[in-house]
């Protein structure tokens, strides 16, 4: 066996293609739960628009950089804690929905 060969080749490549197509169809159908967002993503989503209104001629990448600076300046603040809490709640939501999607019981998820 050389370095390029697969140690566990699929004996039925058609079955693998069907599984890949099934996963893509499932993902595109919207049945899968949406991935969780972090506190940072919530912050950026809310504040990028406000920065765009304040600085209308600034490119989007610079607006995100400005929002990033704001995020880092909030280290340890109550507003930052609020966004972090939003991210943790969304993570629990994702874990709960994922367990249901995977067919497992909906038990309490540790944070």
What pLDDT, in 10s, does the model give residues 19-63?
Answer: 677 667 766 666 778 899 999 999 998 888 899 999 999 998 899
Predicted pLDDT at 49: 85
If one compares 109 and 52, the residue with the highest pLDDT of the two is 52
DSSP H or E segment with residue 82: helix 78-101
Q: For residues 106 and 102, give the distance between their C-alpha atoms in angstroms, rounded to a whole number.
A: 10
Task: Kindly report the pTM of this predicted structure.
Answer: 0.63
**What are the angstrom distances between the C-alpha of 16 and each of 6, 19, 25, 103?**
14, 5, 14, 22
Predicted pLDDT at 19: 64
If one compares 75 and 84, the residue with the highest pLDDT of the two is 84
Q: What number of other Cβ atoms are within 10 A of residue 44's Cβ?
A: 20
């Amino acid at each position: 066996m050389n370095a390029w060969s697969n140690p566990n080749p699929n004996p039925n490549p058609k079955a693998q293609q069907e599984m890949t197509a099934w996963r893509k169809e499932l993902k595109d159908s919207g049945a899968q739960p949406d991935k969780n967002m972090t506190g940072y993503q919530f912050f950026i989503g809310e504040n990028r628009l406000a920065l765009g209104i304040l600085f209308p001629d600034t490119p989007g990448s610079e607006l995100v950089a400005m929002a990033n600076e704001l995020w880092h300046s909030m280290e340890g603040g109550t507003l930052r804690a609020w966004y972090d809490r939003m991210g943790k709640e969304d993570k629990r939501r994702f874990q709960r929905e994922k367990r249901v999607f995977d067919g497992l019981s909906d038990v309490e998820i540790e944070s």
